[in-house]
Structure 1
Amino acid sequence: MDEMNQEVSGMKEFSAGDIVTGKVVKIEDKQVLVDVGYKVEGIVPISELSSLHVEKASDAVSEGDELTLQVKKVEDDEIVLSKRAVDADKAWQDLEEKFENGEIFEAEVKDVVKGGLVVDIGLRGFIPASLVETYYVEDFEDYKGKTLSLKVVELDREQNRVILSHRAVVEAEEASRKQEVLQSLEEGQVVEGTVQRLTDFGAFVNLGGIDGLVHISQLSHEHVEKASDVVQEGETIQVKVLSVDRDNERISLSLKATKPGPWHDIENKVKQGEVLQGTVRRLVSFGAFVEVLPGVEGLVHISQISNRHIGTPGEVLEEGQEVNVKVLDVDENAKRLSLSMKELEREQSRSEIKQYEKEEDNSGFSLSDMIGDKLDKYKN
């Protein structure tokens, strides 16, 4: 008889757990009334509207919305429904698929709580503070209302635990860019980068996804005490790729290779026959290397050090000594500079002799008459 009454009246029969659809007919502060075809309007308590905290029912639904709901309780004069249960069940299935596939998806940050962020993905998803960014964030307030790309990192349906990560997405993107840059770099390329950090042994330069090292010896053609003497963090510079080790993800760079070297255009800076002042930098068995310009050293061969015979350059010179040298030859291609000290000694002696030759003694004899052909060796 009851079944016949239901058929005549057109009323549906419901049981707890059933999934039904209905239209929102009224919104009150703490509940929503929905027409689901039952003899009374269904009630969706505010706590069953969303997995997140809702202040007002109107924040979650609007009048006229079509909702899919789960029946929680049925009595003759009341039927209680849940939107949250349906959303959560669907969300769990969706999240499990995303977790298995490592899928990236987007969600809006609904709340900032102690220890991280909360998002609504049909249920409550939590992003711990440590999984928001790859860097430390002081204040998360600006994240509220922001849409983030996320990955599921932990799921526990029994504990209703959903842990998400934005950091994992960022790291995956960075890893992808890193490989792209690594594969595109070739030895000899000149590329632009940003100085990331300075160390005792050089500077790390970001090339748009991966860092390369400019060793301190490759910062300048001149001797460098510390990297900060040449570059600063945040500075954009041009660098040359010296080598790429893709297996170990190591890139060697040079800043000095992009700049004119000390030997560049040396033949216009230093002329044959010119007299220069320099500093003795190294003594070797066959001569002395004298720095005449920053980064430019020339060789004074042992035979060009003195007019007298010497066994070793150290008999006459010492490292750090300031000396005058005459340029015998300049070769920019070979980066070779031949110098002489002996030539200056000879020229000095010739000059002194000429001065004496002009002076005759009171008897009318010149210095030449007095010492004869002993002058010949200086005139030749």
Structure 2
Amino acid sequence: MIVVKEDLGMSDKTNEEDNKTMADALNSVHEVKVGDVVKGEVLAIDDNKQLIVGIQGTGVEGVVPMKELTAQPVDDITTIAKVGDVLDLVVISTIGKDKENGSYLLSKRRLEARKVWDDIEKDYEEGKTITAPVTNVVKGGLVVDAGVRGFIPASMISDHYVEDLNAYKGKELELAIIEIEPSENRLILSHKAVVQKEREAQKKELFEHLQVGDTVEGKVARLTSFGAFVDLGGVDGLVHVSQISYEHVDKPSDVLKVGQEVKVKVLNLDFDRDRISLSIKATLPEPWDGIEDKAPVGSVLEGTVRRLTTFGAFVEVFPGVEGLVHISQISHQHIATPNDVLKEGQTVHVKVLSVDPDKHRLALSIKALEEKPEGTDDNEAQSNNNNHSNNSSHPARQSAPRAKSSNNNNAHVDNSQFEPDENTGFSIGDLIGDQLKNAGSADDQAK
């Protein structure tokens, strides 16, 4: 009996220890709640579509579908996780009604996204920028992968209008964080803010060193109908269409291409208005250089009628070089206006009558290359043309001084008043010189 009592005592002691172990085990099992971050050991891989994991410290299992394992397309799930791996996971929901022995839906992707959101929020609070590649172009902007989905509205892509957003696809951009709301998976970013900040610094440095009259090299950044914007190293300057070439340019895209390297001269700097005026043609050889060799007196040239006035036609014979065909030199026949026989843009042949390289003057004739019709009196035709010019309302004629008689009864004209016209290179005297001669002859005849 004594032995039996001893055996019973030992049995009671063993039972107490077992009960304590079980109690400890039960106490060590934590209840699993949605939103908890847990560690899961990969127990099996189900048909390469999901992981079966044991949630450590709980005694229950869960599943991780492929879409909750990674946001990237994957053909083989074993490239991400293998049996025996321990993963950090977040509990999304329960599967089934038996919470003790049932499964839980877990996600590795969402836990990583939560950490990304935390990092982005921290960067946002500290005013830092992030970098992310552009993954897609959608209506109204760009989608980027910042660890989570981010969106750049079209108005926040650049500091100027971008016609083709596809040019940004695949590029990695530095981005400022404009708005963040993790609970709604909303992340609004701006590349424009970064560009503006960089350009402001570059502009300040450039304006400190750049001077009016400097000749520098740049790259055509974009083209418009009125000119070309040239990147001088982070700062754009404008080459107006009139400053592209000595030749007439209808559209900048006819002679320039985006990305083309060009040499430009600085015409004007305006730091406050953020404007730099540039010229390409100012870096090119002066059109009138060597004009006496290119257009000697008596030579015949081909040109284009650029402008028609009441007193004649301006014909471009070389890029940037225009000569005047006076109305009296257009035709052997009397014409009321140059428009009667000529049109702007028309190609004509002209003969050089005189050259003045210093004053940029070129006197031309069309009728000198034409055969004079029989019975035509050049003097009469010229007189008719001059009479028409006298009756013209052109300001040059209205302001021309009249010939005056001196004490010796000879007509004199004060030629000092006939200064060169700034736009044409011809003085009023050049344009109406024949009229003054006729006026002098009339005075002599009156006497």
TM-score by length of 1: 0.57
Ranges in structure 1 where 5+ consecutive residues have no aligned partner: 282-289, 299-307, 324-380
Map Cα deviations across residues 164-218 of structure 1 (whole Å, 9 max, x no partner).
3445545554555444444442223211234543656x65444233332445775
Residue identity matched to 1:68: D
Q: Once the two structures are superposed, what CA deviation does each residue of 1:295-335 show, in whole Å capped at 9, x if it has no partner?
A: 6359xxxxxxxxx76223499x8544799xxxxxxxxxxxx
Deviation at 1:239, TM superposition (A): 2.0
Partner AA of 2:51 in structure 1: V
3-state SS, counterpart of residue 247 of structure 1: coil
Question: Which stretch of structure 1 is more off in the superposition, 237-246 or 58-67?
Answer: 58-67
Q: Residue 101 of structure 2 corresponds to which residue in structure 1? A: 77
Q: Percent of aligned pairs with the same residue?
A: 37
- 1:265-322 CA-partner distances (Å, limit 9, x unpaired): 89x979xxx99999699xxxxxxxx862386359xxxxxxxxx76223499x854479
Distance 1:219 1:247 in 2: 25
Matches for 1:303-318 after TM superposition, within 5 Å: 310-313=412-415, 318=429
Structure 2 distance, partners of 1:170, 1:12, is 54
Within 5 Å, which residues of 2 pair with 1:103-252?
103-108=128-133, 118-128=143-153, 135-137=162-164, 143=169, 147-166=172-191, 168-170=193-195, 172-195=197-220, 196-197=222-223, 204-214=229-239, 226=249, 232-234=255-257, 236-252=261-277
Contact 2:288/2:357 (8 A) holds in 1: no
Q: Is 2:223–2:252's contact at 8 Å kept on the other side of the alignment? A: no
Distance 1:256 1:173, change over 3 A: same
Match of 1:27 in 2: 45
Q: Tell me the distance in 2 between the aligned counterparts of 1:240 and 1:6.
A: 88
- Cross-structure match for 1:292: 356
Amino acid at match of 1:44: V
8 Å CA contact 2:63–2:103 kept in 1: the answer is yes
RCO comparison, higher one (Cα < 8 Å, 6+): 1
**Shift in alpha-carbon separation, 1:90–1:53, aligned structure 2, 3 A:** same
Q: 2 CA distance for matches of 1:72 and 1:199?
A: 57
- Give runs of aligned pairs for residues 60-99 of structure 1, distance below 5 A: 61-63=80-82, 65-72=85-92, 75-80=99-104, 81-99=106-124
Which whole-Å CA distance do the structure 2 matches of 1:40 and 1:100 have between them? 39
Structure 1 residue 3 displacement after superposition:
7.3
Q: Note the C-alpha offset of 1:259.
A: 3.8
- CA–CA distance in structure 1, aligned partners of residues 433 and 86 of structure 2: 94
Equivalent residues, number: 296
Q: Is the 8 A contact 2:137 2:166 kept in 1?
A: no
Distance in 2, matches of 1:85 and 1:113, equals 24
CA distance in 1, matches of 2:197, 2:357: 50
**1:15 and 2:35 matched:** no
1:262–1:294 Cα contact (<8 Å) kept:
no
- Asked whether the equivalents of residues 46 and 56 of structure 1 are also in contact (C-alpha less than 8 Å), the reply is no
Shift of 1:226: 4.9
Aligned partner of residue 112 in structure 2, secondary structure: helix
Is the contact made by 1:73 and 1:79 (CA closer than 8 Å) also made in structure 2?
no
State how far apart, in whole Å, the 2-side matches of 1:230 and 1:150 are. 32
Distance 1:55 1:11, change over 3 A: farther
Aligned residue identity for 1:162: L
Contact kept, 8 Å, 1:276 with 1:292, in 2: the verdict is no
Distance 1:55 1:259, change over 3 A: closer
Q: 1:111 to 1:237 in 2, by over 3 A?
A: closer
Output the amino acid matched with 1:15.
V
Unaligned runs of 5+ in 2: 1-17, 300-322, 327-353, 363-409, 419-427, 435-447
Q: Give TM-score, length-normalised by structure 2.
A: 0.50
Structure 2 CA distance for aligned equivalents of residues 131 and 230 of structure 1: 27
Verify the 8 A CA contact 2:178 2:189 in the aligned structure 1.
yes
Residues 280 and 320 of structure 1 are in contact (CA less than 8 Å); yes or no, is this contact kept in structure 2? no
- Rounded Cα–Cα distance in structure 2 between residues aligned with 1:117 and 1:230: 28
Equivalent position amino acid for 2:39 in 1: T
**C-alpha contact 1:19 1:69 (8 A) present in aligned 2:** yes
Distance 1:291 1:26, change over 3 A: farther
- Asked if 1 retains the 8 angstrom alpha-carbon contact of 2:216 and 2:264, the reply is yes
Is contact 1:54-1:60 (8 Å) kept? Answer: no
Where does residue 380 of structure 2 map in the other structure? none
Distance 1:291 1:65, change over 3 A: farther
Q: Which residue of 2 aligns with 1:345?
A: none
AA partner of residue 67 (structure 1): L
Match of 1:70, SS state, is: strand
The 1:20/1:242 distance shift into structure 2, 3 A limit, reads same
1:44 aligns with 2:69: no
